[in-house]
């Protein structure tokens, strides 16, 4: 069974500070890893998808790295803004499986 852990569970930072969100998984035989954002009462918005053959993906202020052998991914958000306040979830898809296994998420608050 794939276990996905996200640390920290919650994070509060002042505006402008860089954010570092961590995700670890137990089974390194994965197809890909995906980062999502969830606003209160909303569905999940896909942020970045990293295939197992990739080391990182970038989109604007977001950068996600993947170290498959150690079972870790990190999401960096540069120059945080109050609009970045949300819950961030990582999910991995195992080669032996078809469904994404989700972490519990990191709830981020960016203070103006």
Q: Is 99 in the site for another protein (CB under 8 A)?
A: yes
Scan for tokens 């709830």, then name that residue.
107
**For the chain, what is the largest distance between any 2 Cα atoms, rounded to a whole number of angstroms?**
44
Q: How near is the Cβ of 39 to another protein at its closest, in Å?
A: 10
Nearer to another protein, 100 or 108 (CB): 100
Which phi and psi (to 5°) does residue 83 adopt?
A: -70, -10
Nearer to another protein, 80 or 92 (CB): 92
Token reading at 95? 């080669």
42-64 exposure pattern, b = at least 16 Cβ within 10 A, e = fewer: eebeebbbbeeeeeebeeeebeb
Range 34-93, binding another protein (CB under 8 A): 34, 36, 41-46, 49, 51-52, 89, 91, 93
Strands (E), the chain: 4-7, 10-14, 19-25, 30-38, 44-51, 56-59, 62-67, 72-77, 86-94, 100-102, 106-111
Total binding residues toward another protein, as defined by CB under 8 A: 24
Stretch that binds another protein, among 14-22, 61-69, 71-79, 94-102 (CB under 8 A): 94-102
Range 1-30, binding another protein (CB under 8 A): none
Nearer to another protein, 71 or 103 (CB): 103
- Which positions touch another protein (CB under 8 A)? 31-32, 34, 36, 41-46, 49, 51-52, 89, 91, 93, 98-105
């Amino acid at each position: 069974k794939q276990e996905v852990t996200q640390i920290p569970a919650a994070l509060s930072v002042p505006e402008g500070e860089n954010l570092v969100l961590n995700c670890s998984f137990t089974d390194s035989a994965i197809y890909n890893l995906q980062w999502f954002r969830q606003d209160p009462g909303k569905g999940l918005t896909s942020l970045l998808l990293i295939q197992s053959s990739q080391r990182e993906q970038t989109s604007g202020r977001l950068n996600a790295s993947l170290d498959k052998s150690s079972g870790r991914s990190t999401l960096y958000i540069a120059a945080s803004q109050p609009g970045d306040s949300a819950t961030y979830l990582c999910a991995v898809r195992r080669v032996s499986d078809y469904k994404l296994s989700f972490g519990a998420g990191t709830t981020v608050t960016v203070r103006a």
